């Protein structure tokens, strides 16, 4: 019998958590990079990362805006994901939030208010009421180990892939 290529497909949790990690690369504040992916029925509703208000300068360009030890310049990842849903008329009811870090207290309140039913994280965040509020609202929290940081993209070994010849005139 012909041997079939061994390939370990990522499980759904790994897939969406890696997606959240990838999204966080777009963050604009050097103090922390956070990514959030809102998911329902294995479909991505929206993504968000912590970034400045539309049209306003980024922390990476002009420095952070510190108040009480926190940078307050950015809209947080979870808020941005919810805002994207609002902008595009997508309901967040019953969705799962995959977030790189445990949400801050304000984002926790927004997620609960938006009808999020489950939060999946692999990293904690300091001084947050998240666990207390989520628990009181019946939102499930799942803490998973950080997924592998490498995302494997192996186009070269797939026989059906034909590389584009950019030298061809």
Active site residues: 78
What 3-state class would DSSP assign to 97?
strand
Q: Is 76 in the site for Zn ion (CB under 5 A)?
A: yes
Give the nearer residue to Zn ion in terms of CB position, either 18 or 76.
Answer: 76
CA distances from 166 to 105, 120, 146, 157 (A): 50, 42, 38, 20
Q: Is 36 in the site for Zn ion (CB under 5 A)?
A: no
Give the nearer residue to Zn ion in terms of CB position, either 39 or 130.
Answer: 130
Q: Is 23 in the site for Zn ion (CB under 5 A)?
A: no
Q: Is 20 in the site for Zn ion (CB under 5 A)?
A: no
The four Cα atoms 108, 110, 114, 115 give a dihedral, to 10 degrees, of 20
Report the residue from 107, 111, 116, 119 that binds Zn ion according to the rule CB under 5 A. Answer: 107
Report the residue from 22, 32, 64, 141 that binds Zn ion according to the rule CB under 5 A. Answer: 64
User: Which among 112, 91, 115, 99 has a CA at the least distance from the CA of 27?
Assistant: 99
Q: Give the rounded distance of the alpha carbon of 151 from its chain centre.
A: 15
Give contact residues for Zn ion (rule: CB under 5 A): 29, 59, 64, 71, 73, 76, 104, 107
């Amino acid at each position: 019998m012909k041997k079939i290529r061994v390939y370990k497909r990522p499980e759904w949790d790994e897939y969406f958590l890696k997606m959240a990690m990838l999204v966080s690369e777009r963050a604009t504040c050097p103090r922390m990079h956070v990514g959030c992916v809102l998911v329902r029925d294995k479909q991505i509703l929206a993504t968000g990362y912590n970034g400045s208000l539309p049209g306003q300068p980024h922390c990476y360009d002009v420095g952070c805006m510190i108040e009480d030890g926190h940078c307050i310049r950015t809209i947080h990842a979870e808020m941005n994901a919810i805002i994207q849903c609002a902008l595009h008329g997508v309901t967040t009811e019953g969705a799962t939030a995959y977030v790189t870090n445990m949400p801050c207290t304000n984002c926790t309140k927004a997620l609960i208010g938006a009808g999020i039913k489950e939060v999946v994280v692999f990293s904690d965040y300091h001084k947050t009421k998240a666990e207390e509020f989520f628990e009181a609202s019946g939102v499930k929290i799942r803490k998973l180990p950080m997924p592998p940081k490498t995302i494997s993209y192996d186009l070269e070994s797939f026989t059906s892939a034909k590389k584009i010849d950019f030298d061809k005139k």
